[in-house]
Amino acid sequence: MRARLNPLFPILVLMGIGFIGIIAQERAFTPPDAVTRKFAIGETRFLPGDQQKAFSETRSFSPKSEAEGIDWLANHDEPGQTFEQFLSARRNLVQPPRTKLYVQPIGEFSDKEKAVLEQVKAFAKIFFQMPVEMRPVIDPAKHQITSRKNPGSGNTQFLSTDILTLLRDELPADGYSILAITMTDLYPEESWNFVFGQASIQERVGVFSFARYGEAGDPKYLQRCLKVFTHETGHMFGVRHCIHFQCLMNGSNSLSETDSAPLHLCPVCLRKLHSAKAFEPRKRYQQMKTFFEKHELADDAKWTAGRLKELAK
């Protein structure tokens, strides 16, 4: 329930700021064994054949690795969430009228950055098999968004909580969620150096800065943007951090940990997404493969091709 009541939780959930102040005592994390992973997926025997296959553990999936140092699971007690637990958790259901995902650009974007926004939108449409709409750019100067110069770098930063307040009023009547993207750095309160993003699951709003992901135009940059957008939207669906497999929904404490997480869901999280918003697994993977090939994400394209082979058998 903490995820719903504490608006700061999703920041930690996201990635990033954990390493600034949360390195306390290292916690022991034991990667779940095969029986535990199967239990997390749950009973699939009564599902149609294509779903049984899609939600089975195969060679395409790696069990969650050990955690050490500043890794998320070495610093956070994560109970994990089985499919059954997901079903009984409080979550935002995808149902009319709230059926559409919104992307909200804030501030200025170069042409290359605008292209990335469009790619994030296109990928979210495939990933969630839902309509995704780009909202007109918000000019921060026309709204009450507190800003400052970062004391260290001198770069401009927006106060993320002001943006969340603004987004609450901007969520359209048919919006399942509205996630804002800005190229300006963010801070959540005066004492913090920066934050990658902040979200309120209960209020279906979030804001993320792509300022620290590298150079727009680089496939690695795009990959990071796609990961953060889909991971956070996954939380909106009620999917908690994954501890069973190497998975997009793994918690992350740093950019390098984010880079090492895959851009796909494990069988447990895929089943959760499917139960929230039904889709045809092979069609979805086929579209993902086409997207990855188009945008030079070779490893992701290769993984998806392998999945399609598994599901074709």
Among 249, 273, 276, 288, binds Zn ion (CB under 5 A): 249
For 71, list phi and psi in degrees, rounded to 5: -50, 145
* Rg of the chain, C-alpha, whole Å: 19
Query: What is the CB-side half-sphere exposure of residue 23 using CA atoms within 13 A?
Result: 10
Least CB distance to Zn ion at residue 123 (A): 18
Question: Does 247 contact Zn ion by CB under 5 A?
Answer: yes
232 is catalytic: yes
- Please name which of 312, 306, 292 lies closest in space to residue 126, comparing C-alpha atoms: 292
Q: Which one of 57, 113, 232, 257 is the catalytic residue?
A: 232
Which residue reads 């069988």 in tokens? 267
* Residues of this chain, 154-183, that bind Zn ion according to CB under 5 A: none
Question: Does 103 contact Zn ion by CB under 5 A?
Answer: no
Question: Does 273 contact Zn ion by CB under 5 A?
Answer: no
Report the alpha-carbon distance of residue 140 to residue 142 in Å, rounded.
Answer: 5
Provide the mask over 204-243, with x wherever binding to Zn ion is found by CB under 5 A and - wherever it is not. --------------------------------------x-
Question: Does 11 contact Zn ion by CB under 5 A?
Answer: no
Cβ neighbours, 10 Å, residue 295: 18
Question: Does 261 contact Zn ion by CB under 5 A?
Answer: no
User: Contacts with Zn ion: how many residues (CB under 5 A)?
Assistant: 7
Q: What is the largest CA-CA distance in the chain?
A: 59
Q: Are the C-beta atoms of residues 64 and 33 closer than 8 Å to each other?
A: no
Q: Which is nearer to Zn ion, 94 or 266 (CB)?
A: 266
**Annotated catalytic sites, by residue?**
232
Q: What residues line the site for Zn ion (CB under 5 A)?
A: 13, 242, 247, 249, 266, 268-269
